[in-house]
Amino acid sequence: MPGKELPLIAFDNSYSRLPEHFFRPAKPAAAAQPQLIRYNQALADQLGIALDIGDTARLAQIFSGQVLPVGAEPIAMAYSGHQFGHFNPQLGDGRALLLGEVIDQEGRRRDIQLKGAGPTAFSRNGDGLAALGPVLREYIVSEAMAALGIPTTRALAAVLTGEPVIRETVLPGAVFTRVAASHIRVGTFQYFAARGDTDGVKTLADHVIERHYPEVTGAENPYAALLSAISVRQAELIARWLSVGFIHGVMNTDNVAISGETIDFGPCAFLDEYDPKKVFSSIDQRGRYAYANQPGIGQWNIARLAECLLPLLDEDEEKAVEVANGVLSQFGDVFQAAWLAAFRAKLGLVGEKDEDRMLVSDFLDLMQRGEADFTLTFRALCKLAGGADDAVLEAQFADPAGLADWLVRWRERLQGGRSAAEIQAQMETVNPALIPRNHRIEEAIQAAIYNDFSFFHRLSDALRKPFAEDPDVADLCQPPRPEQRVTRTFCGT
Secondary structure letter of residue 259 according to DSSP: T
Please state, in angstroms and rounded to a whole number, the distance separating the CA atoms of residues 64 and 70.
Answer: 15
- Which of the choices Mg ion, ligand AMP, none does residue 93 contact, using the CB cut-off of 5 to 8 A by kind? ligand AMP
* Active-site annotation holder among 93, 111, 254, 373: 254
Q: How far is the CB of 283 from ligand AMP (least distance, A)?
A: 9
Please state, in angstroms and rounded to a whole number, the distance separating the CA atoms of residues 18 and 421.
Answer: 54
Q: Any bridge partners for residue 115, and if so which?
A: 96, 176
Q: Are strands 170-180 and 130-131 parallel, antiparallel or unpaired?
A: antiparallel
- Which of the choices ligand AMP, Mg ion, none does residue 129 contact, using the CB cut-off of 5 to 8 A by kind? ligand AMP
Give yes or no for a contact between 63 and 156, defined as CB atoms under 8 angstroms apart: yes
Alpha-helical runs (H) found in 415-483 = 420-427, 438-449, 454-462, 474-477
Nearer to ligand AMP, 135 or 434 (CB): 135
Q: Any bridge partners for residue 179, and if so which?
A: 112, 154
**Which residues, in sequence order, are CB contacts of 145 under 8 Å at separation 6+?**
152, 246, 262
H or E element in which residue 376 lies:
helix 374-385
**Which residues, in sequence order, are CB contacts of 288 under 8 Å at separation 6+?**
84, 85, 297
Active-site residue flag, 254: yes
Site for ligand AMP contains 123 (CB under 6 A)? yes
- Which of the choices Mg ion, ligand AMP, none does residue 126 contact, using the CB cut-off of 5 to 8 A by kind? ligand AMP
Q: How far is the CB of 261 from Mg ion (least distance, A)?
A: 13
Residues 239-268 that bind Mg ion (CB under 5 A): 255, 264
- Which of the choices Mg ion, ligand AMP, none does residue 275 contact, using the CB cut-off of 5 to 8 A by kind? none
Please state, in angstroms and rounded to a whole number, the distance separating the CA atoms of residues 66 and 63.
Answer: 8
Pattern 93-112, binding to ligand AMP, x per CB under 6 A?
Answer: xxx-----------------
- Which of the choices ligand AMP, Mg ion, none does residue 388 contact, using the CB cut-off of 5 to 8 A by kind? none
Residue 310: what residue type?
A: L
Nearer to Mg ion, 113 or 460 (CB): 113
Q: How far is the CB of 99 from ligand AMP (least distance, A)?
A: 16
Please state, in angstroms and rounded to a whole number, the distance separating the CA atoms of residues 235 and 120.
Answer: 33
Site for ligand AMP contains 127 (CB under 6 A)? yes
- Which of the choices Mg ion, ligand AMP, none does residue 128 contact, using the CB cut-off of 5 to 8 A by kind? ligand AMP
Secondary structure letter of residue 92 according to DSSP: -
Please state, in angstroms and rounded to a whole number, the distance separating the CA atoms of residues 115 and 136.
Answer: 12
Please state, in angstroms and rounded to a whole number, the distance separating the CA atoms of residues 448 and 451.
Answer: 5
Query: Which of 125-133, 313-321, 399-407, 427-435 is the region at the interface with ligand AMP (rule: CB under 6 A)?
Result: 125-133
Query: Which of 122-130, 177-185, 438-446, 474-482 is the region at the interface with ligand AMP (rule: CB under 6 A)?
Result: 122-130
Q: How far is the CB of 204 from Mg ion (least distance, A)?
A: 18
Residues 77-96 that bind ligand AMP (CB under 6 A): 91-95
Binder to ligand AMP among 138, 236, 264, 443 (CB under 6 A)? 264
Binder to ligand AMP among 99, 102, 129, 320 (CB under 6 A)? 129
| Closest among 401, 103, 430 to 240, alpha carbons compared | 430
Nearer to Mg ion, 66 or 152 (CB): 152
Q: How far is the CB of 325 from Mg ion (least distance, A)?
A: 28
Query: Which of 31-39, 127-135, 365-373, 419-427 is the region at the interface with ligand AMP (rule: CB under 6 A)?
Result: 127-135
**Which residues, in sequence order, are CB contacts of 26 under 8 Å at separation 6+?**
74, 75, 76, 93, 97, 120, 121
Secondary structure letter of residue 87 according to DSSP: E
Q: In angstroms, how far apart are the furthest CA atoms of the chain?
A: 69
User: By rule CB under 6 A, what count of residues binds ligand AMP?
Assistant: 17
Nearer to Mg ion, 13 or 255 (CB): 255
Site for ligand AMP contains 493 (CB under 6 A)? yes
Give yes or no for a contact between 312 and 202, defined as CB atoms under 8 angstroms apart: yes
Binder to ligand AMP among 89, 126, 196, 287 (CB under 6 A)? 126
Nearer to ligand AMP, 79 or 374 (CB): 79
Please state, in angstroms and rounded to a whole number, the distance separating the CA atoms of residues 85 and 63.
Answer: 34
Alpha-helical runs (H) found in 25-131 = 41-46, 56-62
Nearer to ligand AMP, 321 or 491 (CB): 491
Helices (H) and strands (E) in the chain, counts: 17, 14
Nearest residue to Mg ion on Cβ basis: 264
Please state, in angstroms and rounded to a whole number, the distance separating the CA atoms of residues 326 and 61.
Answer: 50
Q: How far is the CB of 376 from Mg ion (least distance, A)?
A: 32
Q: How far is the CB of 139 from ligand AMP (least distance, A)?
A: 15
Whole-number Cα distances in Å, 22 to 14, 37, 449: 12, 33, 37
Site for ligand AMP contains 255 (CB under 6 A)? yes
Residues of the shown chain interacting with Mg ion in the complex, contacts defined by CB under 5 A: 255, 264
Catalytically active residues, by annotation: 254
Residues of the shown chain interacting with ligand AMP in the complex, contacts defined by CB under 6 A: 91-95, 123, 126-129, 254-255, 264, 266, 491-493
